[in-house]
Amino acid sequence: GENVEQHPSTLSVQEGDSAVIKCTYSDSASNYFPWYKQELGKGPQLIIDIRSNVGEKKDQRIAVTLNKTAKHFSLHITETQPEDSAVYFCAASRTGRRALTFGSGTRLQVQP
Amino acid sequence: DSGVTQTPKHLITATGQRVTLRCSPRSGDLSVYWYQQSLDQGLQFLIQYYNGEERAKGNILERFSAQQFPDLHSELNLSSLELGDSALYFCASSAGQGANEQYFGPGTRLTVT
C-alpha cells in the first residue's frame, strides 16, 4: 500500500519567515495530495490540495508543489504569522481508493 | 467549522466495555470515512461508507465495526475495549464516492482506563 513520509517533524521559524514542509509518497498511482492543518483540540482542516495533473498551486500565503517523477510534494508558507502555528499533515490518495494515507505530521511553531 | 459533527466530544470508559461514536456528515455528502489518531500510529484510516454501503477498509480491528444509516449519519462501534484503543477518532465526509476533498469533524477523544 501507499506510504507517505513527512519531514521535518518539528519546525521553528521567526514571524515573517517562510516555512517549507516536504513529503514523499511511494505509490505512483496516487493522484491527489491534500494538506491539513490541525490546531490543538481540533480536527484536521483542509488548507490546500493538488492533483497530479498540476505542478503548483497557490492560495494567498500558501503554495504546494508536486514533482511526480520524484514522487514528492511540498507545502510552502510565506510571511508566517503566529496563527500559523499548528501541526501540518500531508496526505495522498488515488482514484479507486479515496481513503487518505497521512504523513506523520510537522509541528510548526512561529515565534513572534 | 467544517460542517461535520461528532458526538460525544469526550468518552471515558473501562477496559472490556463497548462504546458508540456518532458522526453526521456535511449536508449533501454521501461518503463518510473514519480515522483513528494516536500518538504512536498517527492518523490511520479505519473504514469508509458511501450512501449506506461499506466501500473500503483500512486498519480496522475485528472488535470495531461501523455502519451508515439512511439519513447518512454514521456510527463507529468499539467493543472489548483495551487500553491501546485510547485515541482520537475522527470522521470525515466527502461529496461522493470518487470525490477527493475530505472534511473532518472535531473528533471524539476516547480514554480507556
Note the pLDDT tens digit of each residue in B40-65. Answer: 888 999 999 999 999 999 989 999 99
B97, pLDDT greater than 80: no
The whole-angstrom distance between B15's CA and the closest CA on chain A is: 24
Quote the CA–CA distance of B101 and B53 in Å, as a whole number: 19
The whole-angstrom distance between B93's CA and the closest CA on chain A is: 11
Name every residue whose Cβ is closer than 8 Å to that of residue B7 and which is 6 or more positions away in sequence: B21, B22, B108
Q: Is A97 on the interface with B (CB under 8 A)?
A: yes
Instruction: Record the cell numbers describing residue B99, joined without a space.
Output: 470525490
pLDDT in tens, chain A (112 residues): 899 999 999 999 999 999 999 999 999 999 999 999 999 999 999 999 999 888 999 999 999 999 999 999 999 999 999 999 999 999 999 988 889 999 999 999 999 9
CB atoms B31 and A45 under 8 Å = no
End-to-end CA distance of chain A: 41
Instruction: Record the cell numbers describing residue B11, joined without a space.
Output: 468518552
Which conformational region is residue A41 in: left (phi greater than 0), alpha (psi within -120 to 50 degrees), or beta?
A: left
CB atoms B48 and A101 under 8 Å = no
- Res B40: pLDDT: 80
Vertex A101 angle, CA A70 and B21, to 5°: 170
